[in-house]
Amino acid sequence: MKDCNQCGKCCTRYGGGDLSASASEIDWWETHRPGIFNYVAGGKIWISPVTGKQMTRCPWLRKLPKQDKYICRIYHDRPDDCRHYPVTIDQMIRDECEMLEVRDLANLKHAQRTLDKLMADSRPPVIR
């Protein structure tokens, strides 16, 4: 499995209404990161503070100039949905994650174990 190359596929695919944040995350943003909290409404995230409508893309994702790379402007304060991604190899395949290599696809169970080790500090363990 390759290191993340910041292709942004995960963020562009899930940056709209497909993400959620816990009440504690939202409360924390309200107190400590009001700029992020401005994009929360009715317990939902990435709601435009101008229109009140669900945004189709995460407002914190930025494409680096003249590169095919993206950065998250709230990386250390991002929702757990983002922090825990990816969870499964199947999800990575579906999302065309560029971390996958041919050898990962040849042995999905081994690839999942590798992913679980890589993500151990970022998400709760997957119970099988």
Q: Confirm whether 3 is domain-assigned.
A: no
The 10s digit of each residue's pLDDT in 10-38 is 888 887 778 899 999 999 999 999 999 99
- Domain hosting residue 76, numbered range: 9-118
Using a 10 angstrom Cβ sphere, with 0-12 exposed, 13-18 middle and 19 or more buried, the burial of residue 40 is: middle
pTM of the model: 0.82
Count of domains for the chain: 1
At residue 85 the predicted structure's pLDDT band, cuts being 50, 70 and 90, is: confident
Q: Confirm whether 128 is domain-assigned.
A: no
Q: Confirm whether 37 is domain-assigned.
A: yes
Residue 93: closest CA among 29, 22, 10? 10
Q: Confirm whether 91 is domain-assigned.
A: yes
Q: Confirm whether 1 is domain-assigned.
A: no
DSSP 37-93: HTTEETTEESB-TTT-SB-SS-TTEEEPTTSS-EEETTGGG--HHHHT----HHHHH
Q: Confirm whether 62 is domain-assigned.
A: yes
Rounded to whole angstroms, the Cα distance separating 53 from 32 reads 24
Q: Confirm whether 123 is domain-assigned.
A: no
Token pair, residue 102, equals 């041919």
Q: Confirm whether 124 is domain-assigned.
A: no
The 10s digit of each residue's pLDDT in 87-107 is 899 999 999 999 999 999 999
